[in-house]
């Protein structure tokens, strides 16, 4: 009922993602400077882009929530931010591995791109504790939306301020015009796969939350034994 089309979406995600990584591993040319180590680019950069876009999408969905006051929009905003946070951990880990292999250090403070991602990640890290600290469901949803909109606007500002600075060693993905054709193609494939992965996870979590809410209301109606609501950071429909 809530999971319509999820099977096809999952299959498509697996096919595209595995295909894209296969292309990245076997077809894309080796980087002249970094060699095989550069391949993590096809994982790290799509992850980062999808996570950041997910944060912004969470803010846009929150705007919709404040306009309509429908709990479903709060749920959507929550799920988008939640999955982006998980991807954000992966971004930081893959970024650290890449930094270690190509620059020889795990972390580089001189790099505004790394630092601003960390700042954004730390900001969104407070999203769940903030929700958890508000008991009233309706107020929790409202406050979370205000947070999501503010933080969503903060993402481009933070990165925009960073782009204004001269960069030292972090590669500029866009606008440099240095990426040759096959690499671009592979990168776009990986980005599409990662976006599909995000969307699939998003749909799965929404379906789970909705099904759980439906089950709860059915139990309440039929058996009259709905479990006591515990305090939770996740919205309950």
Partner 1 sequence: MSVLAALLRKELRLELRTFESVPGMVLFSLTIFVVFHFGLDRASVEGDLAAGILVVTLLFAGMLGLNRLYVADEEQGGFDGFLLAPVDRTWLFVAKAIALFAYLVALEIVMVPAFALLLLEPGLGQALPELALVLALTNAGFAIIAALVGAIAVRTRARDLLGPLIALPLLVPVVIAAAGLLEPLLRETGAGGLDAKWLAILGLYDLVFGLLSVAVFDPLLED
Q: Which stretch binds partner 1 (CB under 8 A): 19-27, 89-97, 114-122, 207-215?
A: 114-122
- Figure out which of the listed residues 28, 75, 120, 155 binds partner 1, where binding follows CB under 8 A: 120
| C-alpha dist (Å) from residue 216 to 114, 129, 166, 193 | 43, 25, 54, 34
How many Cβ atoms are within 10 Å of 168's Cβ, its own excluded? 10
Q: Residue 137 or residue 216: which is nearer to partner 1 going by CB?
A: 137
Confirm or reject binding of residue 126 to partner 1 (CB under 8 A).
Answer: yes
- In angstroms, the first-to-last Cα distance of the chain is 16
Q: Under a CB-based contact definition with an 8 Å cutoff, are residues 189 and 12 in contact?
A: no
> Is residue 89 a contact point for partner 1 (CB under 8 A)?
no
- Counting residues that bind partner 1 (by CB under 8 A) gives 28
Q: Is 4 in the site for partner 1 (CB under 8 A)?
A: no
Residue 66 is encoded by which pair of tokens?
A: 């404040």
Which spans in the chain are helix H? Answer: 6-22, 41-68, 71-103, 112-125, 127-132, 137-163, 181-222
Closest-CA residue to 75 (of 26, 145, 10, 21): 145
The nearest distance, CB 164 to partner 1, in angstroms, is 6
Residue 122 in contact with partner 1, rule: CB under 8 A: yes
Q: What is the DSSP letter of 76?
A: H
Give the whole-angstrom CA distance, residue 45 versus residue 34: 16
* Contacting partner 1 within 152-171 (CB under 8 A): 153-154, 157-158, 161, 164
Question: Distance from CA of residue 5 to its chain's centroid?
Answer: 22
Q: How far is CA 43 from CA 107, 114, 143, in A?
A: 18, 16, 34
Name the minimum Å distance from CB 202 to partner 1. 24
By CB under 8 A, the residues from 6 to 45 that bind partner 1 are none
**Pick 11 or 153: Cβ nearer partner 1:** 153
C-beta closer to partner 1: residue 107 or 154: 154
CB of 211 vs partner 1, minimal distance in Å: 29
Residue 139 sits in the site that holds partner 1 (CB under 8 A):
yes
The residue among 164 and 223 lying less far from partner 1, judged by its C-beta, is: 164
Chain residues that interact with partner 1, rule: CB under 8 A: 66, 119-120, 122-123, 126, 129-130, 133-136, 138-139, 142-143, 145-147, 149-151, 153-154, 157-158, 161, 164
């Amino acid at each position: 009922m809530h999971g319509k089309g999820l099977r096809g979406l999952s299959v498509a995600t697996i096919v595209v993602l595995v295909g894209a990584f296969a292309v990245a591993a076997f077809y894309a040319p080796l980087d002249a400077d970094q060699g095989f180590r550069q391949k993590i680019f096809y994982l790290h950069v799509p992850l980062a882009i999808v996570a950041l876009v997910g944060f912004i999408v969470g803010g846009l969905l929150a705007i919709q929530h404040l306009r309509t006051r429908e709990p479903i929009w709060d749920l959507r905003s929550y799920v988008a931010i939640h999955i982006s946070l998980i991807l954000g951990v992966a971004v930081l880990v893959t970024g650290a591995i890449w930094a270690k292999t190509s620059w020889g250090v795990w972390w580089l403070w001189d790099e505004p791109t790394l630092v601003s991602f960390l700042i954004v990640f730390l900001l969104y890290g407070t999203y769940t504790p903030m929700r958890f600290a508000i008991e009233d469901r309706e107020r929790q949803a409202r406050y979370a939306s205000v947070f999501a909109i503010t933080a969503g606007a903060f993402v481009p500002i933070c990165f925009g301020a960073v782009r204004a600075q001269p960069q030292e060693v972090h590669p500029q993905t866009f606008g440099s015009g240095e990426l040759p054709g096959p690499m671009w193609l592979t990168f776009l494939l990986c980005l599409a796969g990662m976006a599909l992965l995000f969307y699939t996870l998003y749909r799965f979590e929404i379906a789970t939350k909705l099904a759980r809410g439906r089950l709860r209301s059915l139990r309440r109606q039929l058996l009259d034994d709905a479990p006591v609501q515990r305090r939770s950071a996740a919205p309950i429909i």
